[in-house]
Amino acid sequence: MRLLKFAQIATAMAACYAGSASAYIITTTATGGSDGNPSQPTYQTTIAKPKIAGDDPGTTSFTIKWKLPAGTATSGGTPNPDLTAEALFDVTTFNSTTLAFDITIKNTTVLPPGDFNTNILSFGFNIDPNATGVTVNDTAVGDLATTWEGALAQNFPAFQTIDVCVWAANGCTGGNVNQGLAAGATDKLTLTLTGNFAAPTGSDNKYFAMLSDFPLKFQGSWGSFEIPGGGNGGGGCTTPGGCGGGGVPEPTTLALLGLGMVALRVNQRRQTA
């Protein structure tokens, strides 16, 4: 009886923990199209808040990666290395009027010996439903001395007009390369969007937004490149069924459920012994 009681308590704790998390259904999948310079496959990330807490899988963030393969261009006879970057988007607020992220962006490029550079000058995404306002706050401590700025409906080379753009120099089109995020550097910023993110009538979700394309601009020794981002970069999202949040329970929830199942099993063995 004590073991049975323990199992019931553990299961109840797991249910409470899962239901109280402020989390979302986040999934990254291929759009089936391509864009950029050079052109690469494009991806989209959907963020949804279910109406029923029990349908909430416990995800609050997703990562977008970018990769321009080595040898795409040369500088003084030296081919470029893999130009790579990644950004962690942590959803801090999501309701019918606001979608906010804490973003940690890294230029993960490893440069060859010599006088070379390749910096990140801008990045962004398209969003549906459209955002009506954007605010960038760059008060977090990072490696970039220049404050990030942002705006809606900006011209992003090779992508035409992009719904939301964040830049480190003159604008989405680039600028002084020394103001960009250098190879090996990391920076943090907060991006807040306003709009109508209420899910359509009849949907199983309370709130919904879809981000897509995720263009990023590398600028430096080998030239300027504007490429889309995806779940894994350099080929994008390759996980079957999509990259991103999925429906993986958080570790604490799994542990509590495991304890409850073990206790129930032991109790069953005692009753049949």
- Per residue in 172-200, pLDDT tens? 999 999 999 999 999 999 999 999 999 99
- What percent of the chain shows pLDDT beyond 90? 68
pLDDT for 145: 55
Which pLDDT tens digit goes with each residue over 235-269? 444 333 334 333 333 333 333 334 344 343 444 44
Query: Which range among 102-106, 156-160, 177-181, 230-234 shows the weakest confidence by mean pLDDT?
Result: 230-234
Amino acid at 90: D
The pLDDT confidence band at residue 140, using thresholds 50, 70 and 90, is low
The pLDDT confidence band at residue 215, using thresholds 50, 70 and 90, is very high
Strands (E), 51-117: 61-68, 74-75, 78-79, 83-94, 98-107
Average pLDDT over every residue of 121-143: 87
For 233-256, give the DSSP string.
Answer: SSS---STT-EE-TTPPPHHHHHH
Average pLDDT over every residue of 29-52: 94
Average pLDDT over every residue of 45-54: 88
pLDDT for 253: 35
Biggest alpha carbon–alpha carbon distance for the chain: 80
Q: pTM for this one?
A: 0.79
Q: Is the dihedral of CA 229, 65, 31, 134 positive or negative?
A: negative
Q: Is the pLDDT of residue 111 over 80?
A: yes
The pLDDT confidence band at residue 146, using thresholds 50, 70 and 90, is low
Q: Is the pLDDT of residue 25 over 70?
A: yes
Alpha carbon distances (Å) from 175 to 107, 126, 163, 168, 209:
17, 22, 20, 8, 31
The pLDDT confidence band at residue 144, using thresholds 50, 70 and 90, is low
The pLDDT confidence band at residue 55, using thresholds 50, 70 and 90, is low
| Structure tokens belonging to residue 150 | 């942002």
Q: How many CB atoms sit inside 10 A of residue 176's CB? A: 13
Which pLDDT tens digit goes with each residue over 58-107? 689 999 999 999 999 999 999 999 999 999 999 999 999 999 999 999 99
